[in-house]
Chain A
Amino acid sequence: KAGVTQTPRYLIKTRGQQVTLSCSPISGHRSVSWYQQTPGQGLQFLFEYFSETQRNKGNFPGRFSGRQFSNSRSEMNVSTLELGDSALYLCASSLAQVAGSPLHFGNGTRLTVT
């Protein structure tokens, strides 16, 4: 099976712009989660989608949003970018139908805000 695919791998944006990141989960996985990874804060949970519905949300401002499509693919949007949004954004998919189903991470999108 192909793994979790995230596009693009790298992005450079200017403060104030918006950005959309894309994630294709492993085939058959209906849950997609997003995490932000920075050197200072580590890995932080953004949100999780299951069957096109946001099922769980972390403690991030409303500038961070996401959605999931009927084929389980997911997008994450960050509006009004700030310098502090520079990070590695990781997408993870799981079956999420059995408790403790492991998360399978993609290799991330590296976002740099200048």
Chain B
Amino acid sequence: QQQVKQSPQSLIVQKGGISIINCAYENTAFDYFPWYQQFPGKGPALLIAIRPDVSEKKEGRFTISFNKSAKQFSLHIMDSQPGDSATYFCAASNQAGTALIFGKGTTLSVSS
């Protein structure tokens, strides 16, 4: 019940395309869903986060879509750029976001 399942494991997208990464959870007590981006040799950095009271949140080229009834949420990266090539992690928490349960990550490669 504590798992967050993330897919796909890896993703190759053409420059300018849309990257979509999906996550699913089981614990209905989760109330905070962030996405993190990690470059090699660096720690994860928060991209965008959402709470269950909204179905979508957009920040620049990054959008989270949230489906509470299906217990799923996804990250959409519009107009993907080579600089977006990184590993993306979804996560969930029910304790002010400090004890995060992470998905296994998606390695995104944007080809130019």
Contacts and interface: CB of A to CB of B under 8 A. Distances in A.
B99 A105 contact: no
A101 B99 contact: no
Nearest to B39: A107
Main secondary structure of the interface of A (DSSP, over half): strand
Contact of A43 (B46, B51, B89, B96): B89
Contacts, number: 66
Given A42-B104, A99-B32, A106 B99 contact: no
Interface residues of B, number: 24
A106 B43 contact: yes
A90 B43 contact: yes
A25 interface: no
Interface residues of A, number: 27
Nearest to A9: B41
Main secondary structure of the interface of B (DSSP, over half): loop
A19 B59 CA distance: 41
Contacts of B102: 42-44
A99 B96 contact: yes
A8 interface: no
A98 B95 CA distance: 11
The 6 A-B residue pairs whose C-beta atoms are closest, nearest first, are A105-B43, A43-B102, A102-B46, A42-B104, A56-B99, A99-B96
24 contacts: A33-B99, A42-B102, A42-B103, A42-B105, A43-B44, A43-B91, A43-B100, A43-B105, A45-B99, A45-B101, A55-B98, A90-B43, A90-B44, A96-B98, A99-B32, A99-B97, A100-B49, A101-B98, A102-B34, A102-B46, A105-B44, A105-B45, A106-B43, A107-B43
